[in-house]
Structures are given as C-alpha cells and as structure tokens.
Structure 1
Amino acid sequence: MASSDGFEIRIAGKGGHAAHPHLANDPTAPAADIYNAFHKLVSRAANPFSPVVITLPMVKASDGYNVIPESVEIRGTLRTFDSNLRDRLMKRMQSIAERYAEGWGCSSSFGLFRAPYPPLVNDSSLVDFVTEALQAIGPIVEAEMTMGGEDFAFYTQKIPGAFLQLGIRNEEKNIVFPHHHPKFDVDEDVLWKGVAAYALLAYKYLQLS
C-alpha cells in the first residue's frame, strides 16, 4: 500500500464584491492555478513508471456567489510508493503554492494536517508463512498494489510484518460497494475467518518457536 499524506494549503488575499474584483486580491484565482498545477506534477515531475496520485477533493472559499472571500482552504492527499519521490513532490507543491499566491498578491501556507503514513511493505518470508498457515480456511490470493494508505505501515518500519485483507464482498447480497461509498456494507458471515486467521497464525508461530 502507498504512503499517505494529508496536506493543507491556505491562501489569504483581500475579499470584496464579485462585481468589483479589481478592488480585491481574489484568493480563488491562485487556488484554481494551484489545483491545476498540482495535477500536472503527476505527468511532468514524476517518472511514469513510479505510481503517484495527487487528489485535492476539498476546497473551501466563499459562502456567497457574489462575494470574493478573504481566504481559500484546500485539502488533499499525496500517495506514492517511493519515499524520495514523495519528498521531492512535497517540496514542489509547497513552492507552487507560494509562487502562485505571490503572483496574485496573496500569501499562502502549506503543510500537513496529520501525521504522514509511510508505504506499507510486506516481508516476503512472512507472506510465505501466512499463505501456508491460512490455506485451511479458504482460498488466498495476492492483493493488488493499491494507492490506499494504512497506518500498519508504521509497524513494518520497525519490525518485519505482513498485512492481510479479509474479503467481505458478496454479490448475492449486493455487498459490492467499496469503503467510503454510502452503500458500503460487510458480509458478516465471513467474519469468523478473520478470527480463525489470528488463531491459526498464533498456533503456527508457537509451533515454530
């Protein structure tokens, strides 16, 4: 699973009436440029063979259609498997935010609003151990790499680890929607396998030790 950063940009300008934009320093102007520039980083600042995602789904500005706000807040996320690429992109993003804001007579700040998650990398020998130990409770498949983040990665930075996912999809019950979807649901009939997995792994480990 990818690294996961939650970043926040605040652009401060001078508010005013939408009919008189020349009397204001409209922070939405650099906000739009920053939004577009960040997405260009994916295709112009990263090796195309190195997966990276930048998404900015949260933009807060004016509450009125005819009011230029004094400030704009943008929140988004950066995901990648390469820690060096992550660091380079964070610096480029900060620079872009500062320069675009300055060009429109505004000020800006760029930073993280939560702790960054590192990439989650499974230990290959533990993957083999888990795969063998859990054969008894059903089929096991290798999960695809995903740009989703997981704080279990903090553990695997300290000690070897393996992250498992329990499949809860059931088309017959129409349990087919992903998490973050309003119709997300869990097939509770498979939860016993999660409990069994913990028990089997503990038992197999004790046999080896």
Structure 2
Amino acid sequence: MPLDYWRNIEGAYPYQTAKTIEDDSEHNPLNLLSLEKELIAIRRHLHQYPELSKEEFETTDFIAKCLGEKGIPIRPTSLKTGVFADIAGESEGPAIALRADIDALPIEEKTGLPYASKKKGIMHACGHDFHTAALLGAAFLLKENQDSLKGKVRLLFQPAEESGAGAAKVIADGQLDGIEAVIGLHNKPDIPVGAVGLKTGPLMAAVDRFKVAIQGKGAHAALPHNGFDPIVGASQLIVALQTIVSRNVNPLKSAIVTVAKIEGGSTWNVIPDTAVIEGTVRTFDSEVREQVKQRFLSVAEQISSAFSLKANVKWISGPPPLCNDTAITEIAKAAAHKAQLQVISPDPSTAGEDFAYYLEHIPGSFAFFGTGGDHDWHHPAFTIDETAIIKASYFLYESARRLLG
C-alpha cells in the first residue's frame, strides 16, 4: 500500500507534492508522516538551542536521549561532545556508517522564525540541525527494521565540523574502526527540495589558511629611507600571490588564493614595523595543493627579501579535498531513486568539509541534498525547507540498507 511520502504537514508549507513511495514487502511498513512530524519538532528544538564547535553539550545530551528512547545503544567515547551508536542486524554482514555534524556558528540569527535561536550570537546557519534530525530519522527507521539488516550501521553524530577538527578526533577516538564505508550529506539551498546532488571524484575543496607577518623597520612617514616599509612589501606580496594561480597552476585544474585580511600601522604618518596578511587557499587536487603551498612560501620569501623585509609564514592545513568513491556513489544514487529523488550532478563547491578525513580512511560518498532557500550557508537569514528532512532520512536509511546488501 503506498505511503503518502511527500505530503505536507497540516498545511504548514506553501506547496504540496503528490509523490508516493511503495513499501518494500520484506520490511516493516514505515509511518513516514508520523515520523516527519517528530523530526520537524526535533529540528526546531535543535535550532532554538545551537551550540558552537566543541561546546555541543546540550546537543549531545539531547541526541543521546532521542536514541535512548528508541532503544538504540550508545557507544563509549573519550570525546566530550558527540554521540556514536550502533544498530546491528541479526545477520552477519559488513559494518557501515552514516554521519551528521551537530555544531552551530557564531552568527546572530535574522530569520524571524518563531523557533529562532534562543542563544544570542549563535545560530544553526549551516543547517547542521537539519543533518542531525535527518540522521535521527534514519536511525529510527533502521531500528524499526533491525531484524532485517545484514550487518551493522554505525551512527556518527560528529562534533566540531565548523572548526575543522571534529572528524579527525572521531577517527582518533576509534569510531571508524571496523567500518567499511560511510555516507554523509549536506543541505544545499540552491538545489530544490526533492533533488539530490551526487557525483564521483572531487566534490568539495581542500581548505588551507595562511597568516603572513611581514617584519620591517619602522620610520617616520616623511623619512621612509630610514626604514624598511612592510606596508609596501605586503602590497607587493598580495599582488604577486595572485600569479600562483594564473601562472603556476595548470589551467585545466583549479585553485584559489584569497587574501581576505590586512593589518598594518596605527596612524597616518608613521611607517610601522610589521604588516600582517591573512587568507585562504582552496584546491581540489592533492598535488596542486602542495604545489600552491610551496610556491606561496617561495613568493613570500623572495618578495619580502627584495624589500629588505622578512616574511614569517604560518600555514594552517585544513581538511583535504573531499573525493567521493565511485562504487559507493552508485549505491547512493540507487538509494536516491528508490526514495524518488531526482539525482543531479552538482558543481563542486570550493567550501571545505571535514567529512573528507573519513574518505582518506575508507570509501564513501557525500551528497548535496536539496533544501531550497534564498540564502546560502553562513548567512544570518539562512534556513531550510523542512519538507526535505523526511526525504533525507529515507535517503540515508535506504543508502545504509543497500550498503549492507
């Protein structure tokens, strides 16, 4: 008997869809409409009580409570935040993982929603509340059909994605031990609800950060010959760094070098001792990533030397390129078709995502999930269409089932 899978909740949304999904006879009937209401309530609770990276204590307790109420056992962890759990079937099989991130951003919310953040200056402006609710929904569906699972599903409610350190700590904590494949997703406002972006190869960029302190010798602005001007040196360096992409990186590949901050001086008539520039490098290829770094260090040294200055470069490596596995992505596409989602090939994003650390250890796939919206990630008016939550839950559930075989 078909389920009214895409039905709106009591007219709460501005449009309706009429697609249905057939129950698989070998599994329990899925009461998705009831689950949808539960997940929206969960998401709204999370949205009202966001927490920053490494501070997700209330969120951790809430997730653990939600899982506990469904009889899903929590795994031990040495991490202070984050929740990890296993759902094991009665039959032997592989062990796979589903992942959601749980942290928020230091942004003052300006959505005007009745369930807006109650914490001043903190907001779920990247949709991690959506990810968490969707994974909880998938967990509930898997638990309902636990007897039919052929293997084990590990749930990774990961902390500290925004700080770029969470995934690495989850791996160090042993939560990926014994896991053979992993699936994750991220909401995408520019993809409509009912569509999912899946592609093999690079999907999101490696993220590196730099800070260059250019040391000179201060002097009176009227007597520049008595000093070595770091302002002039920093200006030349900013221009020279742009040639790395235009003249060193293969035009058939891509890279971004952005200087986003410059500091130097304290008044109009004094040449300072030091000027500082900061910015980011984004790449999709590990070789290009290393090439850009080495060229950056060389340019910084040589430009500063030409002006009798010294450049002290601090290079902060972030997540590597996120590269989806071909076989796992094909399984995810099959799951998306089962969930009656439109599968599209998304453009890669130059944003970073620490899910990439998991993919350095095991094969997996990361999806861009359509949520519709007028504002992109990290905007104070960012929000998601909540009708996408149940779709994401079913996609994760079906992906897990298919990975288990």
TM-score (structure 1 length as normaliser): 0.87
Q: CA deviation at 1:120?
A: 1.1
* Residue 188 (structure 1) aligned with residue 391 (structure 2): no
Deviations 1:65-115 (A, max 9, x none): 3332221111111122222222122111111111111221211112313x3
* Residue 128 (structure 1) aligned with residue 326 (structure 2): no
Provide the C-alpha distance between the structure 2 equivalents of 1:95 and 1:27, rounded to a whole number of angstroms. 18
Q: Which residue of 2 aligns with 1:204?
A: 402
Deviations 1:117-143 (A, max 9, x none): 211111111111011112215222121
Alignment of 1:119-158 (within 5 A): 119-135=321-337, 136-158=339-361
Q: CA deviation at 1:182?
A: 4.4
Q: CA deviation at 1:201?
A: 2.0
Q: Which residue of 2 aligns with 1:47?
A: 250
Structure with max Cα Rg: 2
> Which letter does structure 1 place at the counterpart of 2:325?
D
> Which letter does structure 2 place at the counterpart of 1:203?
R
Provide the C-alpha distance between the structure 1 equivalents of 2:377 and 2:220, rounded to a whole number of angstroms. 41
Q: Kindly tell me the number of residue pairs found equivalent between the two proteins.
A: 201
Alignment of 1:46-195 (within 5 A): 46-113=249-316, 115-135=317-337, 136-169=339-372, 175-195=373-393
Provide the C-alpha distance between the structure 1 equivalents of 2:243 and 2:347, rounded to a whole number of angstroms. 26
Aligned-pair Cα RMSD in Å: 1.9
Provide the C-alpha distance between the structure 2 equivalents of 1:64 and 1:184, rounded to a whole number of angstroms. 39
Runs of 4+ aligned residues of structure 1 deviating over 6 Å after TM superposition are none
Identity %: 33
Q: CA, structure 1 residues 157+22, in 2 after alignment: closer, same or farther (shift >3 Å)?
A: same
> Which letter does structure 2 place at the counterpart of 1:73?
V
TM-score (structure 2 length as normaliser): 0.47
* Residue 23 (structure 1) aligned with residue 205 (structure 2): no
Q: Secondary structure at the match of 2:369?
A: coil
Q: CA deviation at 1:159?
A: 0.6
Q: Secondary structure at the match of 1:186?
A: coil
Provide the C-alpha distance between the structure 1 equivalents of 2:380 and 2:275, rounded to a whole number of angstroms. 28
Task: Report the structure, 1 or 2, having the larger helix content.
Answer: 1
Q: CA deviation at 1:61?
A: 1.5
Q: Which residue of 1 aligns with 2:75?
A: none
Q: Secondary structure at the match of 1:121?
A: strand
Q: Which residue of 1 aligns with 2:169?
A: none
Provide the C-alpha distance between the structure 1 equivalents of 2:257 and 2:346, rounded to a whole number of angstroms. 22
Provide the C-alpha distance between the structure 2 equivalents of 1:182 and 1:64, rounded to a whole number of angstroms. 34
Q: Secondary structure at the match of 2:210?
A: strand
Q: CA, structure 1 residues 153+15, in 2 after alignment: closer, same or farther (shift >3 Å)?
A: same
Provide the C-alpha distance between the structure 2 equivalents of 1:196 and 1:71, rounded to a whole number of angstroms. 55
Q: CA deviation at 1:161?
A: 0.7
Structure 1's unaligned 5+ residue stretches are 170-174
Paired residues of 2:331 and 2:403 also in contact (CA < 8 A): no
Q: Secondary structure at the match of 2:319?
A: coil
Task: Report the structure, 1 or 2, having the larger strand content.
Answer: 2
Higher relative contact order (Cα pairs below 8 Å, separated by 6+ residues): 1
